Every structure is written in structure tokens, then in C-alpha cells.
């Protein structure tokens, strides 16, 4: 009964992801791609770069698990993609639930629920730490002022603080003040060592740089010119919106925040909103690719199991 329930939930999850993706595609087929006079080849290049960004972040996330519990990279990339796709209809923090659900269904290694939760906590901190240098550069070179500039400064300062937490967490958990608690001892034993955390940070930072590069290419594809500083500011603003604890819809908040930074940079409001929607849609499309790849991988495994079981039955019958 329990196994049947797990399979049912897994099937429903994949179907929900496919339905959401189909609804997004249907919307753009009916309404047209925002700013539809785009350069197709540059849009395709931006999509490929986003696939690389997902892969880099998955590799970094993998470093945050202990070596014996590390899920497959495809599983982690699909978890990030599923969270992005689910963000079109679910509140912002629900993406963490989606990530946990996908990782727990990993075929290769089954990490404990606590290990997945701790890895997500550390991944969030590393996201902030990786964005700190990007936000600093955006503050220095982007043409934004007032509250938008203050917001980028906050992102940079928060990133430095987050990096400090990741580095010192194993030692903090072992302090006498905390070590008497069972949870603190568990965190101290399972927290990522500084060397692995450094590799994870490098991979996550690479992911964000690739995402900024994809936005830069998409800006050029949609006729906004070549301004890497604007792309950096867009990525920092949309990522900052993603950390809000409650939002009407995660994807909508990120697209809106990115559009706001474009408006502050002098882009016309209607064009900025259209670009924010297009960027978010492209991000979800890249994420859906990994979801479908994971579904195909699981289906292949099921087919192989059925084939082996059928071969055993035939062998027993002949014997």
C-alpha cells in the first residue's frame, strides 16, 4: 500500500509538471511570445546557457551531501527545474517542498529527509553568497539609483553574511553552548566541510554567472542592446524576490522584480514587463527539460525492471 501511494504521488507530480508546462506553452501560442520580434538563434542560445546554469547548480548542490548520500546530478537539476515550473502557480516557498519531493525519489542514492533539508538550507546561503559579487558589480556599473541601488547593496551584504554562516556552521554546532542539543550535534556531523563548501560555492557562482549571461543574450535577442550590467541587475533583483517567505506566485514575483529593475534603468514599463515574463518563461522551459529527462530516466529503469522480471519468469518456466 505504501509503495503504491509513493508511485501514485510520483506520477501525479510528473503529470502536474507536464500540465503546467503545457499551459505555459498554450498561453504563448495564443497570446504570442512577449516582444515576439526576437532573434530566434539568440533566444535558443540563451536557453542552452540556462541548461548549463541548471547543471552547474546541480553539481554544486551535490557537494552539499555526504559522499555516500549524494543524489544523481540529473535528479538535482530536475528538482530545480520542477521548482521553477511549479513557481508559476504556487507560493514562493512551496518550491522547497517540490525540491524535497523530487530528491527523495532519486533512483541512485536515497538521502535522508534531514540531509535534504540541510542541503537546501546551505544551498540558499550559497545562493546569497554567490550573488554578493554580482550585486556589488551591478551597484558599481548599473544605472540604478534610490531604493533599487539600496536593494542591491542589501543583497551584497547578505551574501557576505551567508558565506560566513556556511564556513563557520560546523564549528558553531560543536560549541559547548550548542553541542548539548541533539540537533546541533547532528548538524555538526552532517554540515558540509569548508573545502566542499568552497567547491559548491564556485559551482553555484558559475550557475548565476551563466544565468546572467543568458539574460544578457536574451536582452540582445529582444532588442534591448548589449548591457551586461543591466543583466546582472535583473538577475540580482529577481533572485532577491525569490527569497520572500510568502508571495502570490513565485515566478510572478521574480518576473516583476526583474521588470522593476529594468524600469529603474530607463526601459519602458510595458517592454520591461514583457521581458520579465519572457525571461521567466525561458527559465521554466529549461527547467522542464530536466524534469522530462528525469521522467524518461525513471521510465527506462521501470522498463528494465519489467524486462528482467519477465526474463526470470521465462527462465523458471523453461526450467
Q: What is the mean pLDDT of the chain?
A: 75
Q: Please give the pLDDT value at position 211.
A: 92
Lowest model confidence (mean pLDDT) among 147-156, 176-185, 222-231, 265-274:
176-185
The pLDDT assigned to 45 comes to 93
**Confidence check: pLDDT of 308 > 50:** yes
Measured in whole angstroms, the distance separating CA 235 from the mean position of its chain's CA atoms is: 13
Segment 129-147 shows an average pLDDT of 75
The string of pLDDT tens digits covering residues 45-90 is 999 999 999 999 999 999 988 877 788 888 899 888 888 877 665 5
Q: What is the mean pLDDT of residues 38-43?
A: 84
Helices (H), the chain: 2-31, 40-62, 73-86, 94-103, 113-141, 147-173, 176-179, 182-190, 194-221, 228-242, 250-264, 269-318
Dihedral in degrees, nearest 10, Cα atoms 253, 246, 154, 46? -30
pLDDT in tens, 233-270: 888 777 766 654 444 445 666 766 677 777 777 777 77
Cβ contact 125:165 at 8 Å: yes
Query: 54 Cβ partners below 8 Å, 6+ apart?
Result: 77, 80, 81, 207, 286, 287, 290
* CA 249 to chain centroid: 15
CA pair distance 107, 71, nearest whole angstrom: 8
Amino acid at each position: 500500500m505504501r509503495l503504491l501511494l509513493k508511485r501514485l504521488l510520483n506520477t501525479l507530480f510528473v503529470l502536474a509538471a507536464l500540465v503546467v508546462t503545457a499551459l505555459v506553452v498554450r498561453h504563448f501560442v495564443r497570446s504570442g511570445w512577449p516582444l515576439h520580434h526576437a532573434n530566434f538563434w539568440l533566444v535558443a542560445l540563451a536557453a542552452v546557457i540556462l541548461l548549463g546554469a541548471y547543471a552547474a547548480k546541480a553539481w554544486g548542490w551535490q557537494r552539499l551531501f555526504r559522499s555516500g548520500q549524494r543524489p544523481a546530478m540529473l535528479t538535482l537539476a530536475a528538482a530545480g527545474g520542477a521548482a521553477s515550473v511549479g513557481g508559476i502557480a504556487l507560493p514562493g516557498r512551496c518550491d522547497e517542498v517540490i525540491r524535497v519531493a523530487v530528491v527523495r525519489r532519486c533512483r541512485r542514492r536515497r538521502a535522508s529527509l534531514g540531509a535534504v533539508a540541510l542541503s537546501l538550507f546551505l544551498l540558499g546561503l550559497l545562493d546569497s553568497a554567490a550573488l554578493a559579487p554580482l550585486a556589488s558589480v551591478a551597484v558599481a556599473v548599473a544605472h540604478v539609483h534610490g531604493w533599487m541601488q539600496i536593494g542591491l547593496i542589501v543583497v551584497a551584504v547578505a551574501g557576505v553574511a551567508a558565506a560566513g554562516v556556511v564556513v563557520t556552521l560546523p564549528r558553531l554546532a560543536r560549541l559547548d553552548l550548542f553541542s548539548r542539543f541533539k540537533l546541533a550535534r547532528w548538524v555538526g556531523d552532517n554540515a558540509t566541510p569548508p573545502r566542499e563548501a568552497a567547491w559548491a560555492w564556485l559551482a553555484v557562482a558559475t550557475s548565476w554567472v551563466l544565468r546572467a549571461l543568458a539574460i544578457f543574450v536574451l536582452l540582445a535577442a529582444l532588442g534591448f542592446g548589449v548591457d551586461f550590467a543591466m543583466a546582472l541587475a535583473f538577475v540580482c533583483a529577481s533572485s532577491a524576490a525569490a527569497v520572500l517567505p510568502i508571495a502570490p506566485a513565485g515566478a510572478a514575483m521574480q518576473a516583476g522584480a526583474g521588470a522593476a529593475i529594468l524600469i529603474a534603468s530607463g526601459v519602458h514599463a510595458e517592454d520591461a514587463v514583457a521581458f520579465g515574463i519572457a525571461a521567466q518563461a525561458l527559465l521554466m522551459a529549461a527547467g522542464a527539460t530536466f524534469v522530462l529527462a528525469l521522467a524518461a530516466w525513471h521510465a527506462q529503469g521501470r522498463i528494465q525492471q519489467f524486462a528482467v522480471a519477465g526474463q526470470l519468469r521465462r527462465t523458471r518456466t523453461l526450467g
